[in-house]
Amino acid sequence: MKKIVPLIAACIVFGFACTSENNAQDAQSLYIFTENSRYGFIDSKGNVVIKPHYIEAKDFSEGLSAVKIGGKYGYIDETDSLIIEARFDAAHSFSEGLAHININGLYGFIDKSGTMIAEPRFDFAWNFTDGMARIRKGSLLGFIDKTGKIVIEPQYNDAGKFSEGLTAVMIDGKYGYIDKTGAVAIEPLYDYTWLFSEGLGTVKIGDKFGYIDRSGKIVIKPQFTSAWHFTDGLAVVQIDDKCGFIDKTGTVVIKPQFDFCWRFHEGFATVKADDNYGFINKKGKVVIEIKFEDAKSFSKGLAQVKSAGAWGYINKKGTYVFKPKK
């Protein structure tokens, strides 16, 4: 995939897909499911803990789930108690103790008691990462801190999320990195950049992707059709129309052979081949058969998979603990 997707839209990019930005699944202990167009939750054994009675719901994150009650959104806990009144026009998952909500078309942030930390005044907002949240006013992007103060004024046409103290931004048509004060940390010399992870940042020069360190030195030369950030010492890369994985020396450790790859989580990576999804281990071995219509990453021992048009959950042996329901 040759076209560069703006950082603010980079949830399907480089031929790979990504889950929600807030990593809600990383912290969940209950798992969302649907039945008869209503949302409920199960535990890790597949037992229904919250019956499916919500019109909409999001994964639990930091102990709370955003749900729709009537025409408004609020938050419940894992006992199905309403913790934050349903008074928002839109509500998103908690990250770093705060969640962005919408009232009358504008976004602000609340804490886990429902107290407004940043009054709704932004045209859009994203979750907190690394102590900072992107906000948009008009067409420009900036950042606030966890007190709700704008610490980097909206001035960028494109900007990523903070990670390891840096974020990618576009300046005068080129991409580089700024720090949390807004100072340029790595000069905007690149055709595209993505977030820093495990000490390396993804960059594009010409039509190829590689990696730099925090000094801006190229440590893995641009050679890939596309590339993603490192997790657990490995990164997804694409060569021509297939994806695989490299280590931090740039060595291909799982050869590009899949149509889709997602990063490793709990020792498993989701991959796609011949229009079906399954899971591999870090040696590249298929450990759960590639047979599902869709599949998400493992979280606390379970992965959500789609079969016959419905979603269920499997364990790391590939056995259903909650069979697909429509």
What gap in Å lies between CA 190 and CA 280, rounded to an integer? Answer: 33
25 has a pLDDT exceeding 90: no
pLDDT of residue 308: 94
DSSP three-state, residue 165: coil
Tokens 């931004």, residue? Answer: 169
Average pLDDT, the chain: 93
90 has a pLDDT exceeding 50: yes
Q: Which of 106-127 are b and which e, b meaning 16 or more Cβ less than 10 Å from the residue's Cβ?
A: bbbbbebeeeebbebebeebbb
- How many other C-beta atoms can be found within 10 angstroms of the C-beta atom of residue 281? 14
pLDDT of residue 18: 46
What gap in Å lies between CA 259 and CA 244, rounded to an integer? Answer: 9
Listing DSSP states for 58-80 in one string gives ---BTTBEEEEETTEEEEE-TTS
304 has a pLDDT exceeding 80: yes
pLDDT of residue 6: 65
Listing DSSP states for 216-240 in one string gives S-EEEEEEESEEEEEETTEEEEEET
CA–CA distance from 193 to each of 61, 166, 168, 304 (Å)? Answer: 28, 11, 6, 30
Nearest in space to 163 (alpha carbons), one of 199, 116, 119: 199
Are 109 and 120 in contact by the 8 Å Cβ rule? The answer is no
CA–CA distance from 297 to each of 25, 38, 61, 124, 227 (Å)? Answer: 9, 23, 16, 27, 19
Between 194 and 1, name the one with better pLDDT.
194
16 has a pLDDT exceeding 50: no
Tell me the pLDDT tens digit for each residue of 217-261. Answer: 999 999 999 999 999 999 999 999 999 999 999 999 999 999 999
Does the pTM surpass 0.75? The reply is yes
What gap in Å lies between CA 296 and CA 284, rounded to an integer? Answer: 17
19 has a pLDDT exceeding 70: no
Tokens 């700024």, residue? Answer: 178
Fold designation for 1-21+164-263: Lipocalin (2.40.128)
pLDDT of residue 11: 43
The separation between CA 71 and the C-alpha centre of its own chain, rounded to angstroms, equals 27
| Rounded average pLDDT over 36-41 | 96
Tokens for 217? 């030195």
5 has a pLDDT exceeding 70: no
12 has a pLDDT exceeding 50: no
Q: What is the DSSP letter of 57?
A: B
pLDDT of residue 29: 86
Burial class (CB in 10 A: 0-12, 13-18, 19+), 79: exposed
| Rounded average pLDDT over 162-173 | 98
Domain spans in the chain, listed from the N-terminal domain onward: 1-21+164-263
Confidence tier at 28 by pLDDT (50, 70, 90): low
Confidence tier at 26 by pLDDT (50, 70, 90): very low
